[in-house]
Amino acid sequence: MTSSRTIVIAGAGIGGLTAALALAARGFRVTILEKAELLEEVGAGLQLSPNASRILIDLGLAPRLATKAVTPETVTIMTARSGGEVVRLSLASPARPDAPYWLVHRADLQGVLLAAIQSHPDIDLRLAAPVQDIAAAADTIRIGDFEAAALIGADGAWSAVRAKAFPAIQPQFSGLIAWRGTCDAASLPPDLRPTGVQLWMGPRAHLVVYPMSAGTRINMVAIVPGEALAPGWNAPGTHDDINLHFSRARWPANARAMIAATDNWGRWPLYTMPDGGVWHRGRVALLGDAAHAMVPFAAQGAGMAIEDAAVLAQCLGETTSDDELPAALARYTALRQPRVTRVQRMARQQGQIYHLRGPMAFARDTVMRLLGPNRLQARQDWIYHWRP
Ligand SMILES: Cc1cc2nc3c(=O)[nH]c(=O)nc-3n(C[C@H](O)[C@H](O)[C@H](O)COP(=O)(O)OP(=O)(O)OC[C@H]3O[C@@H](n4cnc5c(N)ncnc54)[C@H](O)[C@@H]3O)c2cc1C
């Protein structure tokens, strides 16, 4: 395979697939090397805020995605102290008519991205093709049997590209476990079926609940402290395990009823990458969780991977020869790091606020009520109004 104007992407997650489409739209040939033999998205739901949905729409994916996504009107913040509502934020915004807030099943998003990739003549997706060996030369980079003008490591928090190119940077365990599960919307009593996003704040735990798959399924994520499991994704969990964190003494009946309706709990230890760090050297750059895995409390991990993809394509698209690619990758990193670092920090802070206990939780709920929906909503504007 010739290397000229060919980019190899390691990893066919949401970041890698979006980057492939964005780069191909700028005239590059793209080879995606994915270690899995079959692309089946584990996990459950995903919130895609306007900064991310706008990019997917620009890539022409709206017709397929819109039929599968739920477009919620509100985020309701609930408190376990009383079982009641603290504040309700509106997600409808006349300031961004071009970009909805979407709730999607990960499998649906991946399916839509894959369909677009498979019908693109300039994108070659290779499964069962783990990236292992990387050898950089002055004007190309060799990845196993492939030669390319640049390599993008979009291979997740346990990135092999990062381990080869920047071995000193390692993911850290956050001390938190995400429990994820789904249930049929019809299995919940009508008064408990959420139509928008519900965020429940409680002592040392929080719960996020929302509809997806055109409203037929409900996604649940419960965040609690826990021990690190072996690196990687998904170990099954039982009701007894999760009930330890959502006891009757601390959590109201309505939140517990939603937890009880979910029967396929899995747990993900949350590993994060340090803020900033090194994302680029020569013809290699990182994207998505490989660069900046973060705690999911701003619901922006995939959003940032999608933004990375758009900015990467923009920077590389401005070059006219392969010689300019290393400088373009440096520009991509410089453009992305300040914003991603700010999101990483905000996500951590939100987790701390959600998990407050006792008088601090009372103070939090009071301050949120006093601030009111408009001022709380405005704190997200810098994230949602972003454009590449
Ligand atoms: C509980 C939870 C809830 C979340 N909710 C949200 C949300 O609501 N909104 C949001 O925006 N984000 C959310 N996120 C974050 C989001 O899931 C991730 O940030 C996003 O999926 C990262 O995508 P990625 O493509 O960078 O990496 P990944 O999805 O990890 O994809 C990496 C790919 O690389 C492949 N790979 C790995 N090693 C190799 C190798 N050596 N060679 C080739 N391929 C390889 C893997 O098989 C995989 O396909 C959440 C995360 C969690 C844990």
pLDDT in tens, 179-208: 999 999 999 999 999 999 999 999 999 999
Residue bearing tokens 């401005």: 318
Closest residue by Cα to residue 252 from 182, 208, 201: 201
Atom number, ligand 1, closest to the C-alpha of residue 39: 49
> 223 alpha carbon to ligand 1 midpoint, in Å?
17
Burial of 330 (0-12, 13-18, 19+ CB in 10 A): middle
- What mean pLDDT is reported for the chain? 92
Question: Which residue minimizes the CA distance to atom 4 of ligand 1?
Answer: 296
Residue 104 CA to residue 359 CA, distance in Å, equals: 36
The mean per-residue pLDDT over the stretch 107-119 comes to 95
> 20 alpha carbon to ligand 1 midpoint, in Å?
15
Best of 133, 152, 289, 307 to mutate for ligand 1, by most ligand atoms within 8 A of CB?
289
Three-class secondary structure of residue 242 per DSSP: helix
308 touches ligand 1 (CB under 6 Å): no
> 238 alpha carbon to ligand 1 midpoint, in Å?
24
Residue 150 CA to residue 323 CA, distance in Å, equals: 10
Atom number, ligand 1, closest to the C-alpha of residue 16: 25
Atom number, ligand 1, closest to the C-alpha of residue 18: 25
> 14 alpha carbon to ligand 1 midpoint, in Å?
7
280 touches ligand 1 (CB under 6 Å): no
Residue 356 CA to residue 106 CA, distance in Å, equals: 30
Atom number, ligand 1, closest to the C-alpha of residue 10: 43
Q: Are strands 29-33 and 123-126 parallel, antiparallel or unpaired?
A: parallel
180 touches ligand 1 (CB under 6 Å): yes
pLDDT recorded at residue 2:
44
The mean per-residue pLDDT over the stretch 5-32 comes to 97
- Encode pLDDT of 37-94 as tens digits: 988 766 689 999 999 999 999 999 999 998 889 999 999 999 999 889 999 999 887 6
301 touches ligand 1 (CB under 6 Å): yes
171 touches ligand 1 (CB under 6 Å): no
Q: Is the pLDDT of residue 232 over 70?
A: no
Question: Which residue minimizes the CA distance to atom 27 of ligand 1?
Answer: 156
Q: Is the pLDDT of residue 101 over 80?
A: yes
CATH class of 6-42+106-171+274-350: alpha beta
pLDDT recorded at residue 224:
94
> 43 alpha carbon to ligand 1 midpoint, in Å?
10
307 touches ligand 1 (CB under 6 Å): no
Q: List the Cα angle 27/334/270 in 5-degree steps.
A: 95
Best of 8, 21, 35, 105 to mutate for ligand 1, by most ligand atoms within 8 A of CB?
35
Q: Is the pLDDT of residue 1 over 60?
A: no
Residue bearing tokens 């000229």: 4
> 157 alpha carbon to ligand 1 midpoint, in Å?
7
Residue 113 — pLDDT band, cuts 50, 70, 90?
very high
102 touches ligand 1 (CB under 6 Å): no
- Encode pLDDT of 115-144 as tens digits: 999 999 999 999 999 999 999 888 999 999
Residue 239 — pLDDT band, cuts 50, 70, 90?
confident
> 334 alpha carbon to ligand 1 midpoint, in Å?
22
Q: What is the pTM of this model?
A: 0.96
125 touches ligand 1 (CB under 6 Å): no
- Encode pLDDT of 318-336 as tens digits: 999 999 999 999 999 999 9
- Encode pLDDT of 301-314 as tens digits: 999 999 999 999 99
267 touches ligand 1 (CB under 6 Å): no
**DSSP codes of every residue in 51-115:** HHHHHHHHTT-HHHHHHH-B--SEEEEEETTTSSEEEEEE---TT-TT---EEEEHHHHHHHHHH
For the question of residue 384 being annotated catalytic, the response is no
> 41 alpha carbon to ligand 1 midpoint, in Å?
10
